[in-house]
Amino acid sequence: MNRKINTIHHLNKHPLLRRGLGRLTARPIHHLNKHPLLWRGLGRLFILLFLLPTPISAQIRFGLKGGFQLANMEFNDDALKKSNRVGFFVGPTLKIGLPVTGLAVDVSALYDQRDLKVQDETFHQQSIVLQGDARYGVGVGDLVGIFLKAGPQFSFNVGDDVLQWFGPDGELKQFSLQETMLSVNFGLGVAFANHFEGSINYNIPVSKTADFTWQQLGDTLWDQTWNHAKTRTNVWSVSVSYYF
């Protein structure tokens, strides 16, 4: 059961808590402001598409993508259990055809929300995700095609990045998410009737997803230790796209 912070004296015993609260109150109200690289990248993408010559731009198709995901979060500490949590994503996507038959590039900008569970606490992680996949497909009849795809994914955290709570014995715990993360996507999909696509995807992070720090109390206030663990989150997802 979580305990509330009642007095300033209680705060003074937890320097980690003071630093975390400082980070939370110092952040801009609009979390997107902390990712100027995200805005510059989106702006350059739209400028590039606008300047493309007509024969190439004619091969660009806009659409919408959405789906569900199962996130598997593992710790590098055996004392902590891994957890599986669900989430969803939605946003615009475009497909750029290349001169080589069967080759194309998918680019998507998605809002991604997933649940994370650390011990007995559950949190929401909110991100803006930029995906860029190279794909190769072949037709199976006049209406159906299959394709393979792979490419990088950049995730920008736009929700809370420092989460803190107290355990049942009053020990402080802190979970810190990465503000920006690079991962790699692999997928297998089916295209139908030149408008609909569905795919199964697997996402592998290149680096850690978050840090988990927790306090271990002893018999006295001075008899305490701090433990630290890193997490990595692999994600299975099912997506559906509609191209106009």
Burial status of residue 191 (CB atoms within 10 A of its CB: 0-12, 13-18, 19 or more): buried
Q: 16-66 pLDDT, tens per residue?
A: 444 444 443 444 444 545 555 555 655 555 555 545 554 554 488 999 999
Could you tell me if residue 65 is inside a domain?
Answer: no
Domain residue limits at 201? 8-47+86-243
Residue that wins the pLDDT comparison between 145 and 125: 145
Could you tell me if residue 156 is inside a domain?
Answer: yes
Percentage of the residues of the chain whose pLDDT score is greater than 90: 36
Residue 29, pLDDT score? 40
Residue 64, pLDDT score? 96
Burial status of residue 235 (CB atoms within 10 A of its CB: 0-12, 13-18, 19 or more): buried
Task: Give the chain's domain count.
Answer: 1
Residue that wins the pLDDT comparison between 113 and 171: 113
Could you tell me if residue 101 is inside a domain?
Answer: yes
Residue 108, pLDDT score? 95
Could you tell me if residue 75 is inside a domain?
Answer: no
Q: 133-165 pLDDT, tens per residue?
A: 999 999 887 789 999 999 999 999 888 777 777
Residue 28, pLDDT score? 40
d(CA 242, CA 244): 7
Could you tell me if residue 78 is inside a domain?
Answer: no
Could you tell me if residue 206 is inside a domain?
Answer: yes
CA Rg, the chain, in Å?
A: 22
Could you tell me if residue 182 is inside a domain?
Answer: yes
- Residue 113: which pLDDT band, with cuts at 50, 70 and 90? very high
Average pLDDT, the chain: 76
Could you tell me if residue 204 is inside a domain?
Answer: yes
Quote the DSSP letter at residue 5.
-
Phi, psi torsion values for 80, nearest 5 degrees: -110, 135
pLDDT of 216 strictly over 80: no
Q: 65-109 pLDDT, tens per residue?
A: 999 999 887 776 555 566 677 899 999 999 999 888 889 999 999
The pTM of the full predicted model, rounded to 2 decimals, is 0.70
Q: Please state whether beta strands 83-97 and 103-118 pair in parallel, antiparallel, or not at all (unpaired).
A: antiparallel
DSSP readout, 127-187? Answer: EEEEEEEEEEEEEETTTEEEEEEEEEEEEEE-S-SEEEEE-TTS-EEEEEE-SEEEEEEEE
* 32 in Cβ contact with 128 (< 8 Å): yes
At position 150, the amino acid (one-letter code) is: A
DSSP readout, 44-90? Answer: HHHHHHHHS-HHHHTTEEEEEEEEEEEEEEEESSTTS--EEEEEEEE
At position 96, the amino acid (one-letter code) is: I
